[in-house]
């Protein structure tokens, strides 16, 4: 049976030394005058971050902080057709014995690190709100989990790993929270394992489709007659802009992740730029501190499978075709368990609310005034507030997990 | 006035040292079992090439060969709104007194290096075929040319540089050959500078436009028929399938370069391994089974690595001409610019990345030469120099459809 091992992040000295050596040899490109952010990450930002990374940034300090804050473990999880993968995860229990087991699933370029601020809030004891036992998995190929070694590790497999992890931890019933790939994966978990194991799901990255005459006749007609609100229009324009100018990473990762991978594995500055661009573009004016960015990116640099593995999810889900990837995001997947949605205005894909109607059994839907794609990291209080309201006493998903309603 | 300086490729020793230091620290990614080429360039290929690059590959030897074979120069060319750019080019004259001036324009990930095998063939004098004075430009941002410093260096600017170069060499009338970006740029040149300066243009990257009902009724109806009965013309369908596959699964590089070339550029500038893989993938996938020699690949890529502007600058052409979004380039390819004032020649190679019906190229062009080949791919001048040269000789030679287009320079001695 799977055995759990306590895990501490402990990057070998060799790896730190190699990083330092590479940074010492860094070659930076030229830049057009007044380029700003138009062509990608500005040179001044990268110069500053590289200088800090080489000089002053203390990985050991941040490594120790993470180990102190986040109890981590690894265990072997067998995946049909893919052998056994050693999976890394955070598992922080609340003092409340009957806390609700919650699985947090990250995306790209996220990691378990995104749950850092959410964990203490969700596990916090109180008679006024429910608490949770939080499991934040490192998806295969991310963080300190092993990567798949065979082709076609797709949504079903990611969902299988997640479900098996929760079951292995003794959580026969649980709820999930996910954004980015975490949305698709937790939706698949809801589809495959709900309501037997997955009892409710919450997302900050709702997909959806425009209403059609057949699926949502009233919404469809309303859209035709009344058009979209100014806010909805603006949201769709942002989606348009994202697709036209911000999806190159997805096209490359979705077609030639190996080719790209040589750069990301060999060049820390290349990896830094690749990820940092999204950390800035996808957040809602989050005031990134340099060390914060460097810790985020260092997790990718020092990841167990190396930085190239993480991008493969794009290829597998789209079968090598980005258009298929997009279709998977929008395609309907039937789920029967309660769904909660939190909407943050800086999200990259902001569909009109009516487009999410068919996502599932929506019992909670809240809009926020600020925050972007990395909601758990940018707005942990707002997100934990939403989860507390959704699952708390009087909330629409109160008591979904038998015997674990989140209170003492 | 622009002053020409002879140029010898002479990479500083410290650049070679830095490359070696980086290669010694090379970190490789993992790879899925049996990945083959499905996910991109295979790990064994890249490992082998990196091992060779750091041990055995002799840049100085290849540098010397290039300098011997290809007479090179630089000169300052003023580009409206962008100041003067120092442009690098190969200029090899033929022995034939009245050789035809020909400008060869490369694309991405090409360079002046692509013309290497073509140059001796085209410049060779003979009473039996025309010969050419060949100019192979390094486009701004490529090879040993300076890169633009300002935003907005667009198609007109590339065309302007090319035209001004030929004029500054005393070639008031000339012809062009181009593929990839070279096709798009020489098409713009034909549009802007033909027939006054550009007298004819030849391409190995035909492209084409979906026929319109009014403009090309016959072609349009043929297409309609084909959509209804695709199995009737399997060859045409195969061409579409190949083109579609390239667009769907082979154009990720295009998407990132036309939207965030700077973000990508940090990798390209910092990692020779990353740059190697990025370009090598195209060399293999876009050529037609060409038997690349490792040293050949490494020389091709070293030109990018050691380029004057660095490897990042070259990809900006996708952003500038593609308008910073992923749709524009496709539109640009398909938009038929008026070039019918001058004769046009096409050479079709089966390994090209986009294969469209022949009739689609007709729009707004005066096609006088159109030949299909059995072998060869995207880098035709490099893979099939004899074929490309043969086609140019047939197009411009005595009895050919573009014979004598350049006044007083018909390609022969008498």
Chain A contact set for B267 (CB, 8 A): 263-264, 267, 269-271, 273-274
Query: ∠A203-A329-A148 over CA atoms, to 5°?
Result: 90
DSSP A368: -
pLDDT band at A1 (very low <50, low <70, confident <90, very high): low
Asked if residues A249 and A364 have their Cβ atoms less than 8 Å apart, the reply is no
> So what's the pLDDT on residue A221?
87
- Residue in A26, A251, A270 nearest the CB of B252: A251
Give SS3 for B148: coil
> So what's the pLDDT on residue A254?
97
More confidently predicted of A30 and A327:
A30
- Contact across the interface for A29 and B326, Cβ inside 8 Å: no
What residues does B76 pair with on adjacent strands?
B86
**Longest CA pairwise span in chain A (Å):** 64
- Contact across the interface for A33 and B27, Cβ inside 8 Å: no
Nearest-angstrom CA–CA distance, B132 and B175: 10
> What's the order of all strands across the beta sheet hosting B343-348?
B5-7, B72-79, B83-92, B132-137, B100-105, B174-178, B198-203, B343-348, B366-372
Q: Is B409 left (phi over 0), alpha (psi -120 to 50) or beta?
A: beta
Cα A105 off chain centre by: 6
- Contact across the interface for A257 and B310, Cβ inside 8 Å: no
Is B278 near chain A, with CB under 8 Å? yes
pTM: 0.96
Is B41 near chain A, with CB under 8 Å? yes
CB within 8 A of A287, min separation 6: which ones?
A: none
Is B277 near chain A, with CB under 8 Å? yes
DSSP A182: H
Q: Is A80 a catalytic residue?
A: no
> So what's the pLDDT on residue A61?
98
Please report, in tens digits, the pLDDT of each residue of chain B (414 residues total).
569 999 999 999 999 999 999 999 999 999 999 999 999 999 999 999 999 999 999 999 999 999 999 999 999 999 999 999 999 999 999 989 899 999 999 999 999 999 999 999 999 999 999 999 999 999 999 999 999 999 999 999 999 999 999 999 999 999 999 999 999 999 999 999 999 999 999 999 987 777 777 777 777 888 887 877 877 788 888 888 888 888 888 999 999 999 999 999 999 999 999 999 999 999 999 999 999 999 999 999 999 999 999 999 999 999 999 888 877 777 777 778 899 999 999 999 999 998 888 888 888 899 999 999 999 999 999 999 999 999 999 999 999 999 999 999 999 986
Tokens of A289: 């501190």
Nearest-angstrom CA–CA distance, B32 and B37: 11
- Contact across the interface for B39 and A258, Cβ inside 8 Å: yes
> So what's the pLDDT on residue B1?
54
CA-based nearest residue to B202, from B339, B331, B317: B339
**HSE-up (13 A, CA, CB side) for residue A206:** 29
Measured between alpha carbons, how far is residue A163 from residues A149, A182, A302 in Å?
A: 20, 13, 26
- Contact across the interface for B261 and A40, Cβ inside 8 Å: yes
Query: What b/e sequence results for B1-27 when a residue is b if at least 16 CB atoms lie within 10 Å of its CB, and e otherwise?
Result: ebeeeebebebeeeeeeebeebbebbb
Nearest-angstrom CA–CA distance, B310 and B322: 21
Catalytic residue, candidates B290, B318, B319, B382: B318
Distance from CA of A121 to the nearest CA of B (A): 35
Tokens of B73: 């120069």
Is B20 near chain A, with CB under 8 Å? no
Is B264 near chain A, with CB under 8 Å? yes
Give SS3 for B114: helix
Q: How far apart are the first and last CA of chain B?
A: 33
- Contact across the interface for A258 and B269, Cβ inside 8 Å: no
Residue range A111-124, pLDDT digits in tens: 999 999 999 999 99
- Tokens 């609100």, residue? A229
Strands (E), A45-197: 72-79, 83-92, 100-105, 132-137, 174-178
Query: ∠A228-A233-A237 over CA atoms, to 5°?
Result: 150
B 327-346 → A contacts, CB under 8 A: 327
Chain A contact set for B33 (CB, 8 A): 149-151
Nearest-angstrom CA–CA distance, B141 and B86: 10
Chain B contact set for A31 (CB, 8 A): 262
- Contact across the interface for B248 and A321, Cβ inside 8 Å: yes
> What's the order of all strands across the beta sheet hosting A174-178?
A4-7, A72-79, A83-92, A132-137, A100-105, A174-178, A198-203, A338-343, A361-367
- To test the contact with chain A by mutation, choose from B29, B83, B247 the residue with the greatest count of A C-beta atoms within 10 A, namely B29
DSSP A148: P
Pairing status of strand A338-343 against strand B174-178: unpaired
Tokens of A114: 């995104």
- Contact across the interface for A46 and B268, Cβ inside 8 Å: no
- Contact across the interface for B256 and A266, Cβ inside 8 Å: no
Catalytic residue, candidates B378, B387, B391, B394: B378
Measured between alpha carbons, how far is residue A179 from residues A22, A324, A356 in Å?
A: 33, 19, 14
Asked if residues B176 and B122 have their Cβ atoms less than 8 Å apart, the reply is no
Give SS3 for B123: helix
Q: Is A61 a catalytic residue?
A: no
CA-based nearest residue to B378, from B350, B352, B346, B345: B352
Catalytic residue, candidates B45, B156, B180, B387: B180
Q: Is B95 a catalytic residue?
A: no
Is A254 near chain B, with CB under 8 Å? yes
Residue A144 backbone phi and psi in degrees, to 5: -110, 25
Burial of A334 (0-12, 13-18, 19+ CB in 10 A): exposed
Query: What b/e sequence results for B368-391 when a residue is b if at least 16 CB atoms lie within 10 Å of its CB, and e otherwise?
Result: bbbeebeebbbbbbbbbbebbbbb
pLDDT at A306 over 90: yes
């Amino acid at each position: 049976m799977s055995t759990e091992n306590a895990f501490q992040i402990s990057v070998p000295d060799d790896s730190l030394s190699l990083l330092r050596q590479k940074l010492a040899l860094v070659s930076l490109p030229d830049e057009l005058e007044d380029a700003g952010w138009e062509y990608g990450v500005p040179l001044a930002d990268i110069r500053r971050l590289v200088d800090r990374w080489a000089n002053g940034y203390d990985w050991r300090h941040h490594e120790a902080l993470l180990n102190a804050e986040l109890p981590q473990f690894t265990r072997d999880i067998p995946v049909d057709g893919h052998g056994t993968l050693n999976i890394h995860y955070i598992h922080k229990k609340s003092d409340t014995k009957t806390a609700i087991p919650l699985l947090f699933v990250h995306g790209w370029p996220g990691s378990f690190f995104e749950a850092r601020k959410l964990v203490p809030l969700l596990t916090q004891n109180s008679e006024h709100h429910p608490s949770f036992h939080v499991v934040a998995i490192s998806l295969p190929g991310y963080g300190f989990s092993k990567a798949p070694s065979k082709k076609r590790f797709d949504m079903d497999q990611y969902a299988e790993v997640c479900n098996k992890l929760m079951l292995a931890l003794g959580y026969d019933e649980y709820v999930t929270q996910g954004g980015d790939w975490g949305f698709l994966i937790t939706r698949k978990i809801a589809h495959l394992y709900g309501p037997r194991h997955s009892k409710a799901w919450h997302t900050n990255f709702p997909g959806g489709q425009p209403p059609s005459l057949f699926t949502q006749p009233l919404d469809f007609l309303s859209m035709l007659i009344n058009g979209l609100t100014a806010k909805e229009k603006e949201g769709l324009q942002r989606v348009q802009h994202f697709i036209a100018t911000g999806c190159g990473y997805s096209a490359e990762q979705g077609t030639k992740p190996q080719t790209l991978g040589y750069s990301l594995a060999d060049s820390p500055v290349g990896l830094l730029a690749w990820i940092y661009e999204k950390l800035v573009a996808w957040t809602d004016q989050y005031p990134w501190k340099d060390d914060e960015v460097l810790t985020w990116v260092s997790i990718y640099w020092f990841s167990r499978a190396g930085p190239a593995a993480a991008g493969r999810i794009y290829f597998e889900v789209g079968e090598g075709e980005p258009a298929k990837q997009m279709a998977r995001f929008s395609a309907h997947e039937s789920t029967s368990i309660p769904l909660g949605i939190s909407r943050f205005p800086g999200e990259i894909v902001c569909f009109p609310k009516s487009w999410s109607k068919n996502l599932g059994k929506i019992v909670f839907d809240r809009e926020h005034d600020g925050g972007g794609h990395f909601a758990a990291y940018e707005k942990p209080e707002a997100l934990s507030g939403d989860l507390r309201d959704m699952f708390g006493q009087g909330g629409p998903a109160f008591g979904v997990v038998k015997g674990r309603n989140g209170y003492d | 006035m622009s002053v020409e300086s002879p140029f010898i490729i002479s990479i500083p020793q410290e650049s070679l040292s830095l490359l070696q230091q980086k290669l010694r620290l090379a970190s490789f990614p993992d790879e899925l079992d049996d990945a083959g080429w499905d996910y991109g360039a295979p790990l064994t290929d890249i490992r082998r090439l990196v091992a060779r690059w750091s041990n055995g590959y002799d840049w100085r030897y290849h540098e010397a060969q290039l300098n011997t074979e290809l007479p090179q120069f630089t000169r300052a060319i003023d580009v409206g709104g962008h100041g003067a750019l120092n442009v690098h080019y190969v200029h090899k004259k033929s022995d034939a007194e009245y050789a035809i001036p020909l400008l060869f324009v490369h694309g991405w990930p090409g360079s002046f290096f692509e013309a290497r095998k073509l140059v001796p063939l085209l410049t060779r004098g003979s009473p039996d075929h025309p010969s050419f004075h060949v100019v192979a430009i390094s486009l701004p941002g490529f090879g040993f040319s300076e890169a633009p410093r300002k935003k907005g260096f667009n198609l007109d600017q590339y065309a302007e540089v090319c035209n001004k170069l030929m004029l500054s060499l005393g070639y008031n009338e000339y012809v062009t050959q181009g593929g990839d970006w070279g096709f798009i740029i020489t098409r713009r040149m034909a549009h802007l500078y033909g027939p006054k300066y550009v007298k004819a243009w030849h391409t190995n990257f035909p492209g084409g436009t979906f026929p319109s009902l009014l403009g090309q009724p016959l072609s349009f109806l043929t297409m309609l028929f084909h959509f209804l009965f695709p199995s009737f013309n399997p060859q045409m369908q195969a061409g579409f399938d190949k083109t579609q596959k390239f667009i769907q699964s082979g154009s990720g590089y295009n998407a990132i370069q036309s939207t965030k070339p700077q973000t990508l550029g940090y990798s390209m500038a910092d990692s020779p391994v990353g740059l190697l893989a990025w370009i090598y993938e195209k060399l293999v996938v876009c050529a037609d089974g060409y038997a690349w020699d490792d040293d050949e690949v490494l020389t091709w890529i070293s030109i990018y690595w050691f380029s004057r502007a660095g490897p990042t600058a070259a990809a900006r052409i996708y952003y500038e001409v593609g308008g910073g979004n992923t749709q524009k380039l496709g539109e640009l390819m398909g938009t038929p610019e008026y070039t019918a004032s001058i004769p046009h020649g096409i050479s079709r190679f089966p390994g090209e990345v986009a294969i469209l019906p022949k009739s689609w190229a007709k729009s707004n062009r005066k096609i006088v030469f159109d030949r299909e080949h059995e072998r060869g791919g995207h880098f035709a001048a490099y893979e099939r120099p004899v074929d490309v040269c043969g086609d140019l000789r047939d197009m411009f030679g005595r009895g050919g459809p573009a014979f004598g287009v350049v006044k007083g320079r018909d390609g022969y001695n008498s």
